[in-house]
Amino acid sequence: MSATGAPPVRGMALGLWGAGERGERVDAPDPGRFDRALDEIAALGATHVALVVTWSQRDVRDVRVAPGDRTIDDATLRHAIERARRAGLAVLVFPILTLDRVSPGEWRGTLAPADIDAWWQSYERFILHYAGIAADTGAEALLIGSELGSTEGWRDRWYHLIGRVERVYGGSLVYSANWDHYQHVSFWPRLDAIGVTGYFELAGAGERGRERAQPRAEDLAQAWRRARDDLAAFAAGRGKPLWLTEVGYASVDGTAARPWDYGLDGPVDVEEQRRCYAAFIEAWSGVDALAGVFFWIWDGAGGSRDRGYTPRGKPAEAVLRQWLAGNRGERTDEAQ
């Protein structure tokens, strides 16, 4: 742990999206935008950056995983890895599968490909593509999957993929399990860490709305402690370090109750976002079980009117900066 009790791997995710803020196609993203973001992430005190890249498929039953509208070109990713290293950041290459169309209740955690063999072959091509880039550039870690709950029992398939990756890439391998499904991953023994997203619900659904008081910081921290104890015990039981691969909160009223929900429709609330980050820090500071954390996500302009997940230009940024950089002169939480 650092002087502030932060883990040795202290990361921020950066979305290397190949599309503009409204989803329009951008064939040549401005590399300067990513350069500036990497410098900002390093200045926060982070040690690592997760460079998030995407391929997509049409829907949950599709069998073809391929580059999509938001997929950046390989040269941009290679440049970002080199630029991160110059900024003093270690790199986790973070490929994520996205869906072009979803029906109610569907997302990448409910994939049901019409032909599993064909889909798996396509998925392996996706991960091996980025394994090759990670190897060529010396990236320190590689994500082999994120929140693919319906596939997590396919142990033999995952073992096969991991074996193929290991033949081309020698860095750390991590999988990112959903916060409510990490107990069901059948291939943890073949990975270097237990990776879990941190979107645990910190407040009840009724504790939102302008007419109600903000959730108390101590109550939020206590909810995190309950999740923390379960996660620490699970990782210890498997003899693996624990990485929280995504921890993030939208700047929207209700994010404490539904931190995983990108579609929250409440008013902008940068204070609730700040309190959630402070609760995380209160619960996890000095806990040796936590080997790494990546905050979600440094993306977009940010600021007090932004309702997205980025802490950039918001009170949450100051909370993170203090914890990551180790400034002891200020408090990180409002437990009072």
| Strands, E assignment, the chain | 9-15, 48-57, 90-99, 141-146, 172-176, 194-197, 242-247, 290-298
Q: Once rounded to an integer, what is the mean pLDDT over residues 7-33?
A: 70
Looking at the predicted structure, is the pLDDT value of residue 22 above 70? no
Is 3 a member of any domain? no
Tally of CB atoms within 10 A around 314? 23
Residue 334: the pLDDT is 36
Asked if omega into 297 is within 30° of 0 (cis), the reply is yes
- The pLDDT tens digits of the residues spanning 113-157 come to 999 999 999 999 999 999 999 999 999 999 999 999 999 999 999
Q: Contact 109/96 with Cβ under 8 angstroms?
A: no
Is 1 a member of any domain? no
Higher pLDDT, 322 or 204: 322
- The pLDDT tens digits of the residues spanning 174-200 come to 999 999 999 999 999 999 999 999 999
- The pLDDT tens digits of the residues spanning 47-95 come to 999 999 999 999 999 999 999 999 999 999 999 999 999 999 999 999 9
Is 316 a member of any domain? yes
Residue 30: the pLDDT is 65
**Alpha-carbon distance 280 to 262, whole Å?**
19
Query: Measuring CA to CA, which residue among 260, 261, 271 is closest to residue 213?
Result: 271
Looking at the predicted structure, is the pLDDT value of residue 20 above 50? no
Bridge partners (DSSP) of residue 53 are 95
Is 112 a member of any domain? yes
Is 296 a member of any domain? yes
Higher pLDDT, 156 or 331: 156
Match 């039981």 to its residue by tokens: 237
The three-class DSSP label of residue 246 is: strand
Is 281 a member of any domain? yes
For residue 16, the domain's CATH number is 3.20.20.80
Is 330 a member of any domain? no
Tell me which residue range forms the domain holding 114: 9-325
Residue 89: the pLDDT is 98
Following DSSP, what letter does each residue of 8-20 receive, concatenated?
Answer: SEEEEEEE--SB-
Amino acid in position 76? T
Cβ-based burial of 154 (10 A; exposed 0-12, middle 13-18, buried ≥19): middle
Is 336 a member of any domain? no
Q: Once rounded to an integer, what is the mean pLDDT over residues 202-211?
A: 62
Tally of CB atoms within 10 A around 207? 17
The three-class DSSP label of residue 316 is: helix
Residue 2: the pLDDT is 57
- The pLDDT tens digits of the residues spanning 239-281 come to 999 999 999 999 999 999 999 999 999 999 999 999 999 999 9
Looking at the predicted structure, is the pLDDT value of residue 287 above 80? yes
Structural domains of the chain, count: 1
Confidence bin at 17 (pLDDT 50/70/90): confident
